[in-house]
Chain A
Amino acid sequence: MERVRAGELAVLADLFERHSGRLHGFFLRLTGDRAAAEDLVQEVFVRMLKYRSTFRPGARFSPWMWTLARNASADLWRARPRELPELEEAPEPASLEAGPLAELERREELDRLAASLDRLPVERREILLLARFSGLAYERIGELLGISVGAVKVRVHRAMRELRTAYRAGESAA
């Protein structure tokens, strides 16, 4: 990114090749909308060019990229508030007596998990996806979200429990 900042804009193509897939996966799971996910990936790279002067020499690229990614998705939610999943209070955790989940491997199990993820409130989904897919340490995620590492741990845990609740609800409905 330092080379892009210094004016070698063509180097951005390498960064696109390296990071667009991961960003796309993140946005696709966050929005559940392929077109919106592609728009957001494009937006992140537009912002990289626009704000390249804000990249500090010597800084790590990944946290900076995820900051742009998060801002881009936050702007999307602001622009399309009606499409926001409802931010409801977290449901009570499912009974722990239901027994441990088996390994989720079969196609229908993974489809159910994807649908369960879609049902999480967007804030929960976002922190869970950041924790699972961004490759950022919790400390960086905390900086990104403006919260402490302890708060990241608690929120990821809550998101996981809600995911389990949603998954079990889908399991019993099937």
Chain B
Amino acid sequence: MNDERRTSGPGASCAEFETQIAAALAGEVSAAERRELDEHLARCPRCAREAADLAALWRGLERLPADQPSPFLAARFERMLRREIELDAQGSQRAGAAAGGRRFGAATLAAALAVGIGIGVLFRWFGAPSGEIEALRDEVGSLHQMVAVSLLAQASPSERLQGVAYGRQLAGQEPRVLEALFSALATDPNVNVRLAALEALAPATELPARRHRLVQAVAAQDSPLVQLTAIDLLLEGGGEAARRDLESLLADPDLDPTVASYLRDRLGRSA
């Protein structure tokens, strides 16, 4: 059938006016077309009935119950976005290092270069005494720690995400970085940063004191997404001890009902 037929106008047929009915319901007719249509409907009972039917259906469509997406859709999206942001940040760091342009990349490189030259000089003049090399290694470690902690304190979420990416490599060994990541998890206003901090802290589930802090962080979160992700990470990495710690959360009357339901499912508990 030809879709390009005339849809109204002087001398238009009923079929042509009928086509205008759905368009009028969508507000897709001009004032003149609307006037013509109204005049036709006033004198044509057949088309008026058609208009009443289509209007009822059109309004009915609006009233169809709209199921909300599950919380897992948002969680999947957050994970995807976080991964992309991290990849983007890594790409930027590489580009920045290549061009010597990015602030922290350049600072890190310059400092590492200075330390590297220092190591070379020491090797040449003193035969690489082990104590000096240890000290220099510590210095490099401190530099990474400083970069991670500094980035985590920046105003821009993308810089804080970079800080999490730096901190991820150091979270197991540098207390200041660990504290900065726990702080980001507890207080960062950006959910993506909190989720990234959570993943950076995942290895911490093996140690009881840190695992306990993570469980406490779950309870204190206002974002169900972060809570659901934390539950997954704790159950994946923390073993039976994490299950016991998480069970204590079920007694918390303030726990989000969706999170509580998810936790019960994961723990195999009935409501």
Residues of A bordering B, CB below 8 Å: 7-10, 12-13, 16, 20-21, 24-25, 28-29, 34, 37-38, 41-42, 45-46, 49, 96, 99-105, 109-110, 113-114, 117, 128, 131-133, 137-138, 147-151, 153-157, 160-161, 163-164, 167
Contact = CB atoms under 8 A, between A and B. Distances in A.
B61 A132 contact: yes
- Give 7 nearest A-B pairs by CB, closest first: A104-B60, A151-B3, A100-B52, A101-B56, A157-B22, A24-B69, A153-B23
Interface of B: 3-7, 18-23, 26, 28, 46, 49-50, 52-54, 56-70, 72-74, 76-78, 80-81, 84-85, 88, 92, 157-158, 161, 190-192
Contact of B49 (A21, A100, A148, A154): A100
B65 A110 contact: yes
A132 to B, nearest CB: 5
A138 B81 contact: no
Given A21-B68, A37-B69, A157 B81 contact: no
Nearest to B87: A9
A3 B64 CA distance: 35
Contacts of A132: 26, 58, 61-62
Nearest to B70: A38
B53 A164 contact: yes
Contacts of B191: 13
Contacts of B7: 150, 153-154
B57 A113 contact: yes
Nearest to B27: A137
13 contacts: A9-B84, A10-B190, A38-B70, A38-B76, A45-B77, A131-B22, A132-B26, A138-B28, A149-B28, A150-B4, A154-B7, A155-B3, A157-B23
Given A13-B191, A153-B28, A102 B56 contact: yes
A154 B1 CA distance: 10
A164 B53 CA distance: 8
Contacts of A148: 3-4
B21 A157 contact: yes
Given A96-B46, A100-B49, 10 more contacts: A8-B158, A10-B161, A13-B77, A16-B77, A38-B72, A132-B58, A132-B62, A138-B23, A151-B4, A157-B22
A153 to B, nearest CB: 4
